[in-house]
Amino acid sequence: MIVVGAGVLGAALAWTLARHGAAVTLVEQYEPGHRRAASGARTRTLRLAHGADVDETRSAWSARRGWLELERDAGKPLFSEVGMAWLAADGDNAWEAASEAVLGREGIRAERLSPAEARRLLPGLQADDLDHVLFEPQAGVLDAAEAVRALVEAALDAGAQLLRGAATPGGASALLGGRRVEGDRVVWACGAWTARLFPELVRGTVIQQDAFYFETPFAWASRALPAWGERRRSASGSGGGSGFKVGLDTPGPAFDPDSEARQALPVNEAQARAYLGSRFPALASAPLIATETCQTVELDAASAAPAALLGGEVRVVRHPEHEQVWLLGDGSGHAFKHAPAIAGAVESLLA
């Protein structure tokens, strides 16, 4: 098995295949967990709520078990079970209601909190316009870059080998520095680089996404704050040692994933501060202590190859001319939480 790309999906697949006895070669052009990848962030949320989508909820729960297993094997903390708080607006909370119903049927804990109760979880929360907060106590935050490195280390411990270099397609194999790397299956899990490598199959635009970390008062920083999300405003974040993280899932400019010039845009910081001013006003003028520039991929609906969906937004494509070649992922940060479950699903497809 050849897996090209040691981001979270490629690394999770290599780990899964290797520990089940496959001979795996993992190829990566940079270091595992590098900051250019969508999976090379400081943190990623592991949430279980997915509205009315039962399959996604089950996938997230399965992935949570996988992350905890990896954490045990790695012998170091990767997942902080701080919970996830969904801010449900008055008159606009159908998604949260559907999530609560699905979580209940699946036996996954969820609590409906009043705005006053939610303020005890999230100090400084402006909740006057909220109907309630849906809290998932078994959700939390993954140490993203460290989790990717742990996946690669676990794959190597299980017998996989790691090759360094920028691979390019060579028909049914991968070309690496003039060398042809061949296998019974070749999986390209290259995220934002996929459209460059396979422009005839995948078309899309890589766009910039920024996250901001703000300094918090000591009373906030000294406690374990939950992750939080507000779907109607496309906002999410978390607390923790790196600061109070805020990210807005809004369209950004086109971006080169190989770029070293990863500078957060002032307009994005202004939008993040405007959001804080309305939802966490005590932090609206807080010092900015770190930024994180990542990327996501907006896929063109005209992409030629038919795709199956895994984990909701994550695509797996079988090459129409080379049946042993597969393309996995689309450069969306949504994949991270589901990675161990997605790896298991892809392993079944490759059998």
Residue type for position 326: W
pLDDT in tens, 111-154: 999 999 999 999 999 999 999 999 999 999 999 999 999 999 99
Homologous superfamily of domain range 1-78+141-203+300-351: FAD/NAD(P)-binding domain (3.50.50.60)
Res 323: pLDDT = 93
> Residue written as tokens 């801010």?
87
Domain boundaries, the chain: 1-78+141-203+300-351, 84-137, 206-297
Q: Is 290 a residue whose pLDDT tops 80?
A: yes
Q: Is 85 a residue whose pLDDT tops 70?
A: yes
Q: Phi-psi bin for 264: left (phi > 0), alpha (psi -120 to 50), beta?
A: beta
No. of helices (H) and no. of strands (E), the chain: 9, 21
Q: Is 298 a residue whose pLDDT tops 80?
A: no
pTM: 0.93
DSSP string of 52-65, one letter each residue = B-HHHHHHHHHHHH
Most distant pair of Cα atoms in the chain: their distance? 63
pLDDT in tens, 181-238: 999 999 999 988 888 899 888 888 888 999 999 999 887 877 789 999 999 999 999 9
- The residues near 134 (Cβ < 8 Å, ≥ 6 apart) are 49, 85, 86, 88, 96, 99, 100, 110, 111, 112, 113
CA angle 247, 250, 256 (to 5 degrees): 90
- Helix (H), strand (E) at residue 133: strand 130-136
Exposure class string for 210-231: b at 16+ Cβ within 10 A, else e = bbbbbebeeebeeeebbbbbbb
The C-alpha atoms of residue 95 and residue 127 are separated, in whole angstroms, by 18
Q: Is 65 a residue whose pLDDT tops 60?
A: yes
What angle, 0 to 180 degrees and rounded to 10, lies between the N-to-C axes of helices 54-74 and 94-105? 60
Fold of 206-297: D-Amino Acid Oxidase; Chain A, domain 2 (3.30.9)
The C-alpha atoms of residue 348 and residue 275 are separated, in whole angstroms, by 43
Q: Three-state SS for 258?
A: coil
Q: pLDDT-based confidence at 334, cuts 50/70/90?
A: confident
pLDDT in tens, 1-18: 999 999 999 999 999 999
β-partners of residue 25 are 2, 161
